[in-house]
Structure 1
């Protein structure tokens, strides 16, 4: 079994969902990934990863609004040192997660027809986020 690890830098626009599927697919191709498992991990606690619908942008809009209702910025948090959007961002990351695992076959991620891998930026301002890609399987 072979392994390949690399880091992908993603610029976010502030509170948003950024589809990184194409960038990941390019990295898998460059690495020669054939059959195996890809783990995608974000190295942050105020942004997260999710696999979600990539056909209708209204889904992303509704998901971001639902997360805002679950962890509102105006709640009485104790942790406020990094601004009013930081603690809600940590809560949203707990709810959505910091990693996803995707099977790879024939060099392609086995995502569903309408699925994409997204960085979910929970903070109000833009950030540069580091995404670690770890492929374990056969390389060609």
Structure 2
């Protein structure tokens, strides 16, 4: 089993493709058949799998998430800011972990699928973990 920690500097409300980093972590693990878990230990960020072909698609995703969960001042909790409170809800809806199947030493993804770190607050210094096991 292998665990790797990865750092990421984010700006507000953006998606960051981390597919290459996850692929490299899987390759470095030496696991050829098994599972890979990608995990974000933050309450205002999340992970998703989406198409990498058109970056505007990810902008659409974030725009719709913001429409569903707008930043507003009437959240019952206001830990830091209204944006932070909205980020908590968005993180719960999107999720903070992905489980990927490893085949032939690589994560199994569709030909146009990428792995994305979603920042719902920011800017922040973030991290995510990749754990592989066979």
Task: Say whether the fold is shared (TM-score over 0.5).
Answer: yes
Partner of 1:8: 6
* Greater mean alpha carbon deviation, residues 98-107 or residues 23-32: 23-32
Gaps of 5+ in 1: none
* Greater mean alpha carbon deviation, residues 58-67 or residues 73-82: 73-82
CA RMSD of aligned residues (A): 1.2
Change (3 A) 1:77 1:50: same
Q: How does 1:35-46 map to 2 (within 5 A)?
A: 35-46=33-44
Q: How does 1:126-137 map to 2 (within 5 A)?
A: 126-137=123-134
**TM-score normalised by L of structure 1:** 0.90
Is 1:71 the counterpart of 2:69? The answer is: yes
SS in 2 for 1:15: coil
SS in 2 for 1:65: helix
Partner of 1:104: 102
In the TM superposition, residue 58 of structure 1 has moved relative to its aligned partner by: 1.4
In the TM superposition, residue 37 of structure 1 has moved relative to its aligned partner by: 0.5
Q: How does 1:16-95 map to 2 (within 5 A)?
A: 16-95=14-93
In the TM superposition, residue 74 of structure 1 has moved relative to its aligned partner by: 2.1
In the TM superposition, residue 31 of structure 1 has moved relative to its aligned partner by: 2.1
> How many residues of Structure 1 are paired with residues of Structure 2 in the alignment?
134
Q: Quote the Cα distance in structure 1 between the aligned partners of 2:46 and 2:133.
A: 22
Q: Quote the Cα distance in structure 2 between the aligned partners of 1:61 and 1:80.
A: 26
